[in-house]
Structure 1
Amino acid sequence: DISNDRLAELDMFFSSQIKTAYASKAAIAAAVKNAHLVIGAVLVPGAAAPKLVTREMLKTMKRGSVLVDIAIDQGGCFETSHATTHEDPVFEVDGVIHYCVANMPGAVARTSAFALNNATLPFALKLANLGAEAAMKADPHLANGLNVYNGKIAYKAVADDLGLPYEAWAG
């Protein structure tokens, strides 16, 4: 991670049962070199995922190692990633197996639908009961998730990524 607070929180929660590190290029290169499995789960809201594992880093991995790119829906976080499907899920580059299936939750559609419903229903109810403006004023999570409102892009990362003007929601 790139948040020291989040790293400290994880260390405390897992009582040092997992190893955490600040996500620098050197730390990622060292971790990748010794890994049999690398799961890339990078999200920059409203923007493409950064390419954190380069082809040069990939060449240091053991043959038969596996990369799973969960960020593939946002362009992928491995330089060698390209989207695959559930029907043809893997490919190999330099002896390293890549699994880059877009919409991974689609493999367990019923379970993911229940999970999505449970996560979003409270927000949908708030919007339905209060209306958009009042709901966003009452719940900062809704306001922080706003991308477009009244025809204007209200999320800076989206505007920047699309090269379009940004206008903050004035709620």
Structure 2
Amino acid sequence: MIDFNALPDPPADADPTARREEIRAALLARLESVLFTLFPAGKKRRGKFVIGDVLGSPGDSLEVVLDGDKAGLWTDRAEGSGGDVFHLIGAHFGVDVHGDFARVLDLAEDLVGRALTAPPRKAAKKAPVDDLGRLFATWLPPGTISSSRGPETSAAMRRALCGGVSWSSSPPTT
């Protein structure tokens, strides 16, 4: 028969305050990736992460401070609510922070683990600009004129496209 009353004392490192502070430090160290994991539609703007609401709707009424002493603090101007990063996680998952903080800690711990593997957001791709400049690059098919063909080919294409008009910077002589 198993006696559950004879369990050993919990280890000294099982202090709930220490666990909370450890998870908070991990969240703040990876705050941006944690927020992008929670809210893929969010945007980074002037040292803050902005999103529409705690559910992740597009917008900018909810701001989370990313840097400094106030990192992790958030304010939703539309709802008039705010708090720390644990309150944000609880609100996002619909968990009462005061009533079930252990569940919020588990969710936060899971987010820290997922945020490590989340790929970084990629910058938007820019359209290639050829020797002809932006004006022609927007309507010419990719690879039509390439800088690898040399300046002579590009100059010939300019003349052909513009009906023989010269593109020199000097005024025409008569």
TM-score range (shorter-chain normalised) is under 0.3
Larger radius of gyration: 2
Instruction: Tell me the TM-score normalised to structure 2 length.
Output: 0.21
Instruction: Tell me the TM-score normalised to structure 1 length.
Output: 0.21
